[in-house]
Structure 1
Amino acid sequence: MSSYSIKDLEHLSGIKAHTLRIWEQRYNLVQPKRTKTNIRYYDDTDLKLILNVALLNNNGFKISKIVKMSPADIRNKVISLTEGALAYEDQIHALTVSMIEIDEESFDRILSINQRSIGFDETMLRVIYPFLAKIGLLWQIGSISPAQEHFISNLIRQKLIVAIDQFVYQGSGKKFLLFLPEGELHEISLLFASYLIKREGHRVIYLGQSTPKDDLIEVYNYHQPEFLITVITTSPDTEDLQAYLDELGDIFCDSELIVSGYQILRTPVELPGNVRLLEKIEDIKGFVESLEAKENAVS
């Protein structure tokens, strides 16, 4: 079971730590546990309750009424609300609960509702990516277990693969080579890029996780793509990043290399002339659409 500080609860629920402490004292909403060194912490059950309370509170339920509801009543009301048109923040709360509970059925239901309402693209951009960003910090500091992170990542990965498979290359458009550096396993953003590119009719050569440099060069030489895309989240290390980018820029000098990811965004680097940085991998959508606009202008 994971443990959370009150700041973690604030980060995930949007309820200020000061308000949470008032609710603890006035309504006995949750009671923090204490470590052997007397440090306060909260567990998964506490986090689920706070997220559900936040969702109900955001939708007009007063805290004085919520604390009188049974756990079953709270859960049923939350399920009923998530089947309607909720604010994105509330959908993110519901997804977080499904992650904590390792509840695939709940996760699928929430995503399906959003896809029907706003489409797959907007579900990824407005719900999934903010959700991943929200839990990313907790993953970094170890407040989320590997099982929870793997569970949610694999479900999102499955949804992306299904979405990608609906598009069949028709023989036109640009050629993109997508890969992750050796040691890099965070694949969701690269899969989303593949989805966006294929949807616009371009060809994708997808190498995926932890691609050895020699294999990357071999595939590049064979296909000669106009563009390469990679996402650098944890690998290579910050001290090796500049040398890695310089090497890629030199090896693939006849193509444009598009890079994004947490590691490169937090590390000061000088980009080679043929390397473009995207602040967010979601910006690949605008980049691909700009290619289409250029093609139309030329024709």
Structure 2
Amino acid sequence: MSSYSIKDLEQLSGIKAHTLRIWEQRYNLLTPKRTETNIRYYDDGDLKLILNVALLNDNGFKISKIVSMSPDEVRQEVMKLTDRSLTHDDQIHALTICMIEMDEDRFDKVLTTNIIKLGFEQTMLNIIYPFLSKIGVLWQTGAINPAQEHFISNLVRQKLIVAIDGQVPSLGGKKFLLFLPEGELHEISLLFASYIIKSKGHKVIYLGQSTPKHDLDAVYDLLEPEYILTVITTSPSIEFAQDYVNNLARKFSKSTIFVSGYSVTGQDMVFDKNVHQFNYIREIKDALDEIEQEMIEK
């Protein structure tokens, strides 16, 4: 079971810590636990309650009404709301609750419903990415346990693989080599980039997680892709990312290299002219539009 500070609850629910404390005092909404050193904390049940309260409150339920409802009544109202609501925040709340409960069936239903209504790409951009960003901070600080993070990542990964398999490259498409550096395991953004690239008719050579340098070199020499894309989140770390990308630029000087990820974005790095940095993985779409325009002009 995870433990959360009141700031964690604020970040995940969107309800200010000050408001949560007022609701604690006025309605006995929460009963914080205390560590042996008398530090207040909250558990999974508290987080689930606050997420449900936030969802109902955002949809017009007064807090005085919510606290008078039974847990089952709250759950039923939340399920009805998330089944019919297209609000992105509501769907993110629903996914967060599924994560806490590790409810695979409900998680799959929420995702599938959004994909049907919004399309796969918009579901990823407007719901999955904000959701992963929200829980990612808490996972890094230890507020969310690794089992919950792996549970969610694997379910999203399954959806991405199915979506990728449904894309067919065209005969005139370019070759893109996608990989993660050795030690890098955060694959969601790379998979999503693969989906977008294939949806535009290009060929993807996908090497995936923690690619050894000699394997990368061998595949490059064999297939000579026009473009290379990698995402650097934790490996190599920020202090080594500049040198790593510089080495890629020199080694694969005949290709255009796209880089993104926490270790390179917002770090004020200067790269060789064959390297293009994405602050957000969605920017790959703009690059693909430029490539398509160049292909038309030729």
Q: TM-score, normalised by structure 1?
A: 0.97
Aligned to 1:138: 138
CA distance in 2, matches of 1:88, 1:147: 25
- Which segment drifts farther, 168-177 or 6-15? 168-177
Matched residue type, 1:5: S
Aligned to 1:126: 126
Aligned to 1:23: 23
**Contact (CA 8 Å) 2:184, 2:235: kept in 1 or not?**
yes
- Where 1:178 maps in the other structure, the secondary structure is strand
CA distance in 2, matches of 1:170, 1:270: 34
Matched residue type, 1:283: E
Aligned to 1:202: 202
Matched residue type, 1:210: S
Deviation at residue 282 of structure 1 after TM alignment: 1.5
Aligned to 1:185: 185
Aligned to 1:9: 9
- Where 2:42 maps in the other structure, the secondary structure is strand
Matched residue type, 1:91: Q
Matched residue type, 2:65: K
Aligned to 1:274: 274
CA distance in 2, matches of 1:113, 1:14: 24
CA distance in 2, matches of 1:293, 1:66: 54
Aligned to 1:243: 243
Deviation at residue 170 of structure 1 after TM alignment: 3.3
Aligned to 2:228: 228
Aligned to 1:92: 92
Aligned to 2:295: 295
Aligned to 1:42: 42
Deviation at residue 266 of structure 1 after TM alignment: 4.7
CA distance in 2, matches of 1:239, 1:286: 28
CA RMSD across the alignment: 1.0
- Where 2:133 maps in the other structure, the secondary structure is helix
Please state if 1:150 is matched with 2:150.
Answer: yes
Aligned to 1:164: 164
CA distance in 2, matches of 1:4, 1:86: 28
**Contact (CA 8 Å) 2:258, 2:277: kept in 1 or not?**
yes
| Structure 1 residue ranges without an equivalent (≥5) | none
- Where 1:4 maps in the other structure, the secondary structure is coil
Matched residue type, 1:30: L
Deviation at residue 112 of structure 1 after TM alignment: 1.3
Q: TM-score, normalised by structure 2?
A: 0.98
Deviation at residue 76 of structure 1 after TM alignment: 0.8
Measured against aligned partners, the alpha-carbon deviations of 1:167-195 in whole angstroms (never above 9, x if no partner) come to: 12332211100000000000000000000
CA distance in 2, matches of 1:231, 1:43: 33
CA distance in 1, matches of 2:286, 2:127: 19
How many aligned positions are there? 298
Measured against aligned partners, the alpha-carbon deviations of 1:23-74 in whole angstroms (never above 9, x if no partner) come to: 0000011111111111110000000000010000111111000001100111
Deviation at residue 75 of structure 1 after TM alignment: 0.6
**Contact (CA 8 Å) 2:169, 2:200: kept in 1 or not?**
no
CA distance in 2, matches of 1:156, 1:274: 32
CA distance in 1, matches of 2:260, 2:232: 6
CA distance in 2, matches of 1:101, 1:290: 43
Measured against aligned partners, the alpha-carbon deviations of 1:186-218 in whole angstroms (never above 9, x if no partner) come to: 000000000000011000000000001111011
Aligned to 1:68: 68
CA distance in 2, matches of 1:185, 1:285: 23
- Which segment drifts farther, 235-244 or 64-73? 235-244
- Where 2:247 maps in the other structure, the secondary structure is helix
- Where 1:136 maps in the other structure, the secondary structure is helix
- Where 2:270 maps in the other structure, the secondary structure is coil
**Contact (CA 8 Å) 2:242, 2:264: kept in 1 or not?**
no
Deviation at residue 265 of structure 1 after TM alignment: 1.6
- Where 1:263 maps in the other structure, the secondary structure is coil
Matched residue type, 1:88: H
Measured against aligned partners, the alpha-carbon deviations of 1:97-142 in whole angstroms (never above 9, x if no partner) come to: 1001111111111111111111111000000000011111101100
- Where 1:272 maps in the other structure, the secondary structure is coil
CA distance in 2, matches of 1:134, 1:66: 25
Matched residue type, 1:23: W
| Structure 2 residue ranges without an equivalent (≥5) | none
Aligned to 2:80: 80
Identity, in percent, stands at 63
Matched residue type, 1:237: S
